[in-house]
Amino acid sequence: MNPESPEERNGTPVGRRVFLGTLGLGALGVLTAPALQRGLESLAGKDPTGLSGLLPNGGGFRYYSVAASVPDKNATDYRLTIGGLVDHPRAYTLADLRALPQTRLVRDVQCVTGWRVPGTPFEGVRLADLLDAAGVRPTARALRFTCFDGTYTESLTLAQARRPDVLVALRMQDKDIGHDHGGPVRLYVAPMYFYKSAKWLSGITVTDRVRPGYWENLGYDVDAWVGRSNGRTDEPTG
Amino acid sequence: MNPPADAPARPSVRLPRFSRAERWVHRTTAALMGVCVLTAAVLYIPQLAVLVGRRELVVRVHECAGLALPVPVLVGLAFRAFRADLRLLNRFGPHDRLWLWAAARRDRRHGARPAGKFNAGQKIYAAWIAGAALVMLGTGLAMWFTHLAPLVWRTAATFVHDWLALAIAVVLAGHIGMALGDPEARRGLRTGTVSGEWAKREHPLWRP
């Protein structure tokens, strides 16, 4: 019904070739991604402008929040409560936490979605010290962490929580932890994927069994060792 | 009804360019793509992520819009006019090569850029964005259903998904920018008809 010029009907099928070529390039991209990614990361490491931070996998931290909005807490209204199966439940202010012995660790941060930030200093109170001060009862097996974003939760077994590389962190990258990074206080679990390092930490409850946290209820591993969980093979950070 | 094949389209006449079904395919695809791009921006740009939060919800919306993205085109295949236009988009004639040469030389004279119903740029855009959308769908599914794909593929799929998203954002901005610069082309997709003058100027070889 629509008379077309012959070349419009019988020309070369370039469209199909472009379409299939794009699909092929996509598949090739997936196959060569590991090599390409390594190359780009080494290039980005030498970038003095910092512009590469805007590109995919450009390095640095990414902001993830599962809540609609997160209140600001500061030295006057921040509290960290420790309760559950302990002999001495209590609430710490920011000043209380700062007055305790501080530990500084410098490790890589590995996110379960793939990004990794090398050599990031974290500083704070060993979780083991807080547990000792609280007096953990013999029936206790695990910890549940709650956050003042009102939504996020995390968990650790008692043995994991007592590791020397698990901190209630007050400083990151040698600065007080800002709000976007989970400040003023966040958990830092050095040997595990970064979702274990709950931001905006406000409560620690000692429990008789592990109660899976927010992402763990959505399918992520509870024992989230870097390189040995979530089907990933990253270099360990512990 | 049809003018002789060599006669120019009469001015001041409205020429039928897109059927109702085709316009709805374009509209719904554009809306779904818009949702994909906006949610992607929220997931990707830290400042927006800080503003919106609700990561799990945003991910869910992004996944649903991405899955639905090919549906309008697949439904469109049931319509004769849509299939006919796909055929025109696929086939390249000698005039398309001239058009591409003129574009490469930044020659903006209409005489230098012969085109049928679709010009060569539109044809390449259509084929590329269709392929790119399917690559996004495939890599997106590999990121989503991690237990289905071999595990090393997840990072690779993420890598391709991220970089191709950037490329699509640039190309899509070009597509929208050119539409903004051509009200009559937009009218064609809104009402289905275009003016004879416009058709003669932009698509001289088109015989509606």
CA distances B147 to B21, B139, B191, Å, are 38, 14, 46
Q: Are A95 and A49 contained in the same domain?
A: no
A1, A41, A63, A228, best to mutate vs chain B, most B CBs in 10 Å: A63
Which of B55, B128, B207 is nearest residue A65 as measured by Cβ atoms? B55
Q: Phi first, then psi: what are they for B162, rounded to 5°?
A: -65, -50
Q: Are A108 and A201 contained in the same domain?
A: yes
Contact residues, chain B, for A59 at CB < 8 Å = none
Q: From CA B113, how far away is CA B141, in angstroms rounded?
A: 40
Residue A104 resides in a domain: yes
Q: Are A85 and A203 contained in the same domain?
A: yes
Go through the domains of chain B in sequence order and give each one's CATH number: 16-202 (1.20.950.20)
A16, A20, A22, A64, best to mutate vs chain B, most B CBs in 10 Å: A22
Q: Are A148 and A85 contained in the same domain?
A: yes
Q: Are A49 and A92 contained in the same domain?
A: no
- Determine, for residues B49 and A64 on separate chains, whether the beta-carbon distance falls below 8 Å: yes
Q: What is the dihedral of CA B3, B4, B8, B10, to 10 degrees?
A: -20
Q: Are A86 and A148 contained in the same domain?
A: yes
Lowest model confidence (mean pLDDT) among A13-27, A163-177, A219-233: A219-233
Instruction: Give the amino acid at A179.
Output: H
Q: Are A115 and A184 contained in the same domain?
A: yes
Lowest model confidence (mean pLDDT) among A5-9, A93-97, B34-38, B76-80: A5-9
Residue A184 resides in a domain: yes
Residue A117's pLDDT band (cuts 50, 70, 90): confident
- Tell which residue, A220, A217, A230, has the closest CA to residue B151: A230
Residue A191 resides in a domain: yes
Structural domain including A160 reads 80-218
Q: From CA A237, how far away is CA A76, in angstroms rounded?
A: 34
Q: Are A118 and A155 contained in the same domain?
A: yes
Q: What is the ipTM of this complex?
A: 0.87
Residue A121 resides in a domain: yes
Residue A66 resides in a domain: no
Continuous segment of H or E residues that includes residue A170: strand A166-172
Q: From CA B30, how far away is CA A150, in angstroms rounded?
A: 36
Q: Are A199 and A124 contained in the same domain?
A: yes
Which CATH number characterizes residue A125's domain?
3.90.420.10
**Mean pLDDT to the nearest integer, A219-228:** 90
CA distances A99 to A92, A102, A121, A191, A203, Å, are 10, 8, 19, 26, 19
pLDDT reading at A171 higher than 70: yes
Q: Are A87 and A186 contained in the same domain?
A: yes
- Count of all residues that appear for chain A in the document: 238
- Determine, for residues B5 and A3 on separate chains, whether the beta-carbon distance falls below 8 Å: yes
Q: Which residues of A44-79 are buried (b: 16+ CB within 10 A; e: fewer)?
A: beeeeeeebeeebbbbebebbbbbeebeebeeeebe
- Determine, for residues B55 and A57 on separate chains, whether the beta-carbon distance falls below 8 Å: no
Residue A143 resides in a domain: yes
| CB neighbourhood size of A200 (10 A) | 27
| Count of domains forming chain A | 2
C-beta separation of A131 from A161 below 8 A: yes
Q: Is A50 on the interface with B (CB under 8 A)?
A: no
Residue A152 resides in a domain: yes
Per-residue pLDDT at B54: 84
Q: Are A133 and A179 contained in the same domain?
A: yes
Place of tokens 């209590």: A90
**Alpha helices, DSSP H only, in B69-207?**
71-76, 80-90, 94-104, 120-144, 152-180, 183-191, 196-202
Residue A90 resides in a domain: yes
Per-residue pLDDT at A3: 45
pLDDT tens digits along B74-123 = 999 999 999 999 999 999 999 999 999 999 999 888 888 999 999 999 99
Q: Are A14 and A130 contained in the same domain?
A: no
Closest residue on chain A to B49 (Cα): A63
